[in-house]
Amino acid sequence: MHQTRDQSLASPTEHDLPAVSPLPLMQLSIGFWSFKALAAAYELDVFARLSGTDGRTVDGLAELLGLDQRPVELLVTACASVGLLERREGRYVNSALAEEFLVPDKAHHFGGWVQMLDRRLYPAWSRLTEAVRTNRPTSWNPDEQAHLFDSEDPQLLALFWEAMHSLSTLTARELGSHVDLSASTALLDVGGGSGAFDIELARRYPNLRATVFDLPPVCEIASTKIAAAGCEDRIAVSPGDFLADPELPAGHDVVLLSMIMHDWTPEQDLTILGKCFAALPPGGRIVISELLVNDEKTGPPAAALMSLNMLVETEGRNYTAAEYEQWLHATGFVDVETVTFEAPGANGAVLARKP
């Protein structure tokens, strides 16, 4: 008796094939491989050991690092594949990207950011599903710590601030080239952190003086960075709490809120904006520099993923330019405009004026 062929075993036709390729999904799935290769190579001092040399063979690098040949070969091959190393005549050398940003003591050293992500945020992101389910951060414990920076691990906290300084320095340069502060004389950097924005903006605008307003321990960090940059005569620190204090320091014609608004809820951000409005004189300006989510809330990826990062870090999220415009108008500001640019820590700034 003739049996009907099992249709499940039939060869697929073009109509059975999926309409899209799974390759983009594959790339998303293995994204962490690239990051961990970068983080491991940085932690093992690969980029530092290759800097200033004509390169090293795998065997030579393995001997220098005191490691077996096999894992070193696999690591440098992976790093070369993502543009961190190059191979020349059998030797591996730093790419221009790695030489500029991943060698300690270089002016634009970005290693603190890599270390902070690896040691602090990577473990927190491994618990992302938990954060989604509970709506609570996973990078710190709100039941045991008063706030994000109340860390029991001084090393991790130091990494955080070093990372923020690297990120802010490069971002400040883009901000300064896209937002004209030549007519401003006194800038109040609310939540100014290590003072990186103030240092870079003061260098670009010789007539500008600045004040970093942040928590007392953070102001100590800022003072050290400001002194190292030789800017003590133009940048001051003012310890305080922009949420708890009833008002902000007066005497400034421009207020900067850079990379801090995403840490807080809309209600808290409105409170911050109200204090900024009160501290400014008529005609004073406010500058909000952030990774802005688009108004459709579909991207861009850097802003949307940073917003998701806020789920494991804070109670905030990354907001849209339209949301900032609404809040600024509600606070009393006028002439709201958005300037776009590309930088590690921000993709634009929302500007407004006090009438």
- Which active-site residues does the annotation give? 262
Give the β-pairing of 209-214 and 235-239.
parallel
* Contact criterion met (CB below 8 Å) for 240 and 247: no
CA pair distance 266, 281, nearest whole angstrom: 24
Q: In DSSP terms, which residues pair with 44 in a beta bridge? A: none
Q: What are the φ/ψ torsions at residue 201 (nearest 5 degrees)?
A: -70, -35
Sign, CA dihedral 110-115-118-122, equals negative
With CA atoms as reference, report the closest residue to 186 among 239, 235, 227.
235
CA dist 257 to 124, 140, 269, 281, Å?
A: 26, 24, 10, 17
Q: Report the b/e string of 302-337 with b at 16+ CB within 10 A.
A: bbbebbbbbbbbbebbbbbbebbbebbeebebeebe
Q: Please choose, from the candidates 297, 284, 302, 314, the residue with its C-alpha nearest in 3D space to the C-alpha of residue 348.
A: 302
Query: How far apart, in whole angstroms, are the C-alpha atoms of residue 103 and residue 277?
Result: 42
Rounded to 5 degrees, φ, ψ at 170 are: -70, -35
**Helices vs strands, H then E, count in the chain:** 15, 9
Distance CA 172, CA 345 (A): 9
Radius of gyration of the chain (CA): 24
Q: Please state the φ and ψ torsions of residue 209, each to the nearest 5 degrees.
A: -110, 160
